[in-house]
Chains A and B, each alone.
Chain A
Amino acid sequence: MMGLTLNVMHMGMLSALVILTLGSIGSFKNSKLGFYGTIIALVIAFSAITITVSAAHFLSYGIFILAIAIINLVSLEAIKSEIKGVDYGLVGLMALATMYIFNTSEFALVLAALVLVSVPTYILVMIREGGANVEVGIKYITFMVLATVLFLIGAIMLVYTKSAFDGSLYVLGYVMLVLGLCLEVGVAPLHEWVPDVFSSADPIPISIIASLAKIVPFIAALWILVYTSSDLTLSITLFTAVIAAISMFVGNIGALTSKELGRVLGYSTVANMGYILSCFVVVAEPKFIYLALTGGLLMLFANAAGKIGFFNAIKGGGAYSPLMYLLAFSFIGVPPLMGFWGKLFILLSLAKMEYFWLVAIVVINSAISIPYYVRLATELGVEWKPNLTNFICLAAVVMVLVTVFLLPVEWFYSTMEVIAQTVGIAI
């Protein structure tokens, strides 16, 4: 029976991959083929996973991923790249890996998912209308390679200590993994590439890098850290807490004092990644992981929706003003928008771990961030026009508004509880 269920999921994933590939090849003839092929592949993978694992568990996570991926795909319409069609396939590949990562208990597959999400962005970042943005690409890839290497070596060292424990090796592995993660997603003080790349690359691919690409690294890192946690974990989490705090301040102050909108969003990413990294302090206490997962993921989704909306607005020369304000308020953390719930659960997980100083820093930083988000909304807000930009922003706003009804939050929350338990059982 077990073998059969695995097969359904794997069959689904495999056929999704095949359709992706065929769609990408077909797109040389007609770019529409790539788009529809990707959509079909994602739906097949989503259904296959939903059928295989207990439906409700995956559904709440999967739907958000699917939504983000589809919005990303649609937003690619706004740009005429040289690899039109293939770019859909790349985004589809990232989405498949992001969907898959919660449904495996294989260490190797977790690392594979990370690489699968990371590598397509190397190509995406260079997309530009007419030619390739090589300078940005080199800047980005240099750090991504370093990040992936650090992450993988750190992960392997940690897993090694699982079977033959060595304190100093554990600490080294932990630090390497976290530094790899920081470089990958852009946490200060290893964030140098972020403002430059975010401001000089095309907004559309950046909106993908800032949304879909951020999810897997966090889940992978959390997965590995929980999986390998030891007696030393409780004391080493201070390291992530300090880095997270630095990242919040650097991000928010940087954003507050930057003029260029892309740069502001880059620093905003640095700050947001700081918030999410801060909930890593729970890895020592498996019973609170569901709080961190809920907070971290809701924050990642809120960040994704906001970044997609703002970057598309930059590309389209502004979007409908109320939509921009709603996204800004979500970032600030105004209840009952999604950003509020993300921050709330992050704060709850910090409070449970008695990291009260970090709670204070998160709250102070939320306050610091208010002016620049409002400024973004003011500068990007324009009159209503029925165009692609507004459509995409509307979709993003619907996402952050889902949590206006308490039900989705509770649903998500209980799902994360179950997932945390399964992760705990798997360990």
Chain B
Amino acid sequence: MIIDDWLVFLLLFLAPVLSSIPIALVYKSDKWTEKLPYLSVFGIFISVLMSLYIFTSFPENQQYAYTWIPDLGINFVLITDYLSCYMGVITAVIAFFIAIYGLDYMKGDYRPSWYWFFFNLFTASMLLVVYSDNLFLLFVGWEGLGAASWGLIGHWFRDDDEIAYVGVPKRKVGPLELSWPPSFGGWRAISTIRFGDVPMFLAIAAIWVLAGNLNISEINWETLFLNIGAAGTIILLVCFLMGLFTKSAQVPFSEWLMTAMTGPTTVSALLHSATMVAAGAFVFIKISWYIKPWELHHVPGLEIVYIIALFIGLISGLYGALAGSGMLERKVLLAASTMSSIGLMFAVGAASFWIHEEIAGINLALLVAFWYMAVHAFAKASLFLVSGHLIHATHSRFSCGGFEFGKRMKIPFIVTIIATTFLVGIPPLTAYWVKSAMDKSMEILWHEHHMLLPIILLILTSLIYSAIMARFLSLNFVRGEKPEHEHLEGGGLMKLGYTMMVSVLFILLYLIFTNAETKGFVDAGYASVSFAVGAGALIAYVIAVYVPRLKVFSRVPGTFFNDRMYLPFLNDYIMPKTGFFISRIVQNYGNRGIDGFFNTRVIPGLFGIISKGIRAIQTGYLKSYVKIVLGLVMVFLIVESLWGLGL
């Protein structure tokens, strides 16, 4: 090895952070903040090089451990398994392409220092999550993601530009105004994530206490689960999954993802492809990889956990696709589709419990989930970057742009066509092969385990998903309304960013056909069911391109879907009201009871009595002092003498 392995890891994690510190420090100087973003991008480029170096030169499944707090099992333990090697490259490359795009997109922003620092922290945190084997170290990266997402979603914290909002301003439904400014978006993200992080942290603590080890690849999961029984296993894993579900915006924690669109588009692109929402699904795949649930059918309670994950994933998939079908805001539509995709990753990842089939020693279901994540990441990142460009070009966050517009915006048009068709599973494009293996997994569930619902939900989701992606294409380039403003010049680096991004989909297609482990995908692609689903996706796609909006449905259920089936009420009404209710009870009864009674009555009362007694003695007369002292001395002496005599 040319350089020490620890130096590679150090550069991988620290290069993005260190390279963005200068710009954070000179935040007051316009001159410097214009130039220093290049340094930040260079830092991410170093991470790309390091991740590629790890991918090509590091031995697979090697653990790299450096002690930190060994007494608590908290160590810098990194691993180069299949998942982290691939995901590391994906994360770094996507972040790098987006960063290049960002050089153009964020030009003239009012606080570039803030943006670049958090953008790079975001990347570094995700890389830490990807490579760490130690759960605590992973959690450090995990919290870094949370903090950076808050900073980036609320980047335009002044809430002064309507273009950064989500929802139609001043549109009220019941007591709620369905419109969210960036600052609220940031708050919604961090508060939802914290809701899951706390149980997840407790679960990690419990794993340390119960297993005595925090390294995912070393924990003896079977013994751990058997020791704590069915209820223990369910509680432990559900607590852990809470962190993943909230981070990945699964139902019912999906609201923050929709209003995360208040952040800059680059942030949305990164958030949706390789970090944050992907982190939840990634960690789920990773722990399932080592838990090996398909070998643990004798562990009580584990099946229930995987059923929960399976259905939360499937329901989120359908919910996201349906919600997207009613949306007109470019980025929010994409956000809903992301949620849907991530849901499918969870679902097929959870299916690993019932699927024994292995390709090249890797469980089929987990492999599918992971490859779908990879394909989705590049396709979705491309689409977000395009929509960012469109927002710049048309000054509108709502979909608009007809065929004339499309002809003048050739590159974005073509990129959108490639990204959508490659993503929705139209044969023989990239995602088709992955989706086929996904269909096959759910078929196994149906044939071998009599679970029909998963495959129905999957096919339904796939069709609607295909339609909403086509709808995105159509509303922006084919059959959309003519934009009010058109600003088509410039944007060279933006075009470069998403062109490079979308071209990776071809590389992935190539890899699917050449890699040994993905041979199963190709086989599944030739199955008749898969082909039928693929054909269905194509038909749905074509129809939706031709008819992107149906007037009949625009009110019902269109508006209902656009309002995300009124899930905002859970987030913005029911939860806060419940919180206020609890806090009022605590305030009225708890605080007044404990604080009011104990701290303002009992203790001061006792103080008063004692102090009155103490002061009552001090009469100032020697006579009374002598009486007291002599009396006390006599009492003491008599008592002690009696005690002494008793000995």
Contact = CB atoms under 8 A, between A and B. Distances in A.
B629 A143 contact: yes
Contact of A196 (B614, B618, B630, B640): B618
Interface stretch (A26-34, A186-194, A394-402): A186-194
Contacts of A254: 611, 614-615
Nearest to B624: A192
Interface stretch (B224-232, B262-270, B446-454, B631-639): B631-639
B647 to A, nearest CB: 4
Interface in A140-169: 142-143, 146, 150, 167-169
Contacts of B636: 175, 179
Interface in A181-204: 183, 189-190, 192-193, 195-196
Contacts of A250: 610, 614
B529 interface: no
Given A138-B622, A139-B622, A171 B644 contact: yes
Given A175-B640, A190-B632, A232-B647, A142 B626 contact: yes
B611 A256 contact: yes
A189 B632 contact: yes
B507 interface: no
Contacts of B290: none
Nearest to A139: B622
A44 to B, nearest CB: 40
Contacts of B622: 138-139, 142
A33 to B, nearest CB: 37
A172 B610 contact: no
Nearest to A270: B614
B645 interface: yes
A235 B100 CA distance: 79
Given A190-B629, A193-B625, A253-B611, A172 B637 contact: yes
A175 B629 CA distance: 14
Interface string B458-479: 0000000000000000000000
A150 B618 CA distance: 23
Interface string B191-209: 0000000000000000000
Contacts of B607: 253, 256-257
Nearest to B645: A168
B371 to A, nearest CB: 58
Contacts of B611: 253-254, 256-257
B644 A249 contact: no
B270 to A, nearest CB: 46
Given A171-B641, A254-B611, A146 B618 contact: no
A192 B617 contact: yes
A175 B637 contact: yes
Contacts of B633: 146, 150, 179, 190
A221 to B, nearest CB: 16
Nearest to A138: B622
B643 interface: yes
A171 B640 contact: yes
Given A190-B632, A257-B607, A168 B637 contact: no
A142 B621 CA distance: 12
Interface string B583-621: 000000000000000000000000100110011011010
A171 B636 CA distance: 11
A192 B644 contact: no
A193 B632 CA distance: 14
B565 interface: no
A126 interface: no
Interface residues of A, number: 33
A297 interface: no
A232 B644 CA distance: 10
A167 B628 contact: no
Nearest to A195: B618
A172 B636 CA distance: 10
Contact of A257 (B615, B640, B645): B615
Contacts of A169: 644
Given A139-B622, A257-B607, A192 B629 contact: yes
A172 B618 contact: no
Given A183-B629, A256-B611, A257-B611, A171 B618 contact: no
A189 B630 CA distance: 11
A385 B640 CA distance: 54
Nearest to A176: B637
A239 interface: yes
Contacts of B644: 167-172
Interface string B293-337: 000000000000000000000000000000000000000000000
Given A257-B607, A257-B615, A192 B640 contact: no
A143 B645 CA distance: 28
Interface centre among A150, A249, A250 (most CB of B within 10 A): A250
Nearest to B632: A189
Contacts of A150: 633
Given A190-B633, A192-B628, A196-B620, A253 B640 contact: no
B340 to A, nearest CB: 57
Given A175-B637, A253-B614, A146 B647 contact: no
A123 to B, nearest CB: 19
A167 B645 CA distance: 8
Nearest to B647: A167
A249 B609 CA distance: 13
B298 to A, nearest CB: 48
A253 B603 CA distance: 12
A78 B236 CA distance: 72
A239 B637 CA distance: 12
B374 to A, nearest CB: 55
B626 to A, nearest CB: 7
A171 B626 contact: no
Nearest to A194: B618
A239 B620 CA distance: 28
B326 to A, nearest CB: 61
Contacts of A258: 615
Contacts of A179: 633, 636-637
A167 B641 CA distance: 10
A189 B645 CA distance: 24
A257 B625 CA distance: 20
Nearest to A200: B620
Contacts of B637: 172, 175-176, 179
Most buried by A among B614, B618, B626, B628: B614
A183 B622 CA distance: 14
Interface in B409-455: none
Given A249-B610, A254-B611, A257-B607, A171 B628 contact: no
Contacts of B630: 146
Interface in A253-272: 253-254, 256-258, 267
B472 to A, nearest CB: 63
A146 B629 contact: yes
A267 B618 CA distance: 12
A189 B641 CA distance: 19
From B628, B629, B636, residue with most partner A Cβ within 10 Å: B629
A193 B629 CA distance: 10
A179 B629 CA distance: 10
Contacts of A143: 625, 629
A258 to B, nearest CB: 8
Contacts of A193: 625
Max chain B C-beta neighbours (<10 A), residue from A175, A193, A232, A267:
A175
Contacts of B647: 167-168, 171, 232
Contacts of A170: 644
Given A176-B637, A258-B615, 4 more contacts: A168-B647, A232-B647, A257-B607, A257-B615
3 closest A-B pairs (Cβ-Cβ)? Answer: A171-B644, A168-B644, A257-B611
14 contacts: A138-B622, A139-B622, A143-B629, A146-B633, A168-B645, A170-B644, A171-B640, A172-B637, A172-B644, A175-B640, A179-B636, A192-B618, A253-B610, A256-B607
Interface of B: 607, 610-611, 614-615, 617-618, 620, 622, 625-626, 628-630, 632-633, 636-637, 640-641, 643-645, 647
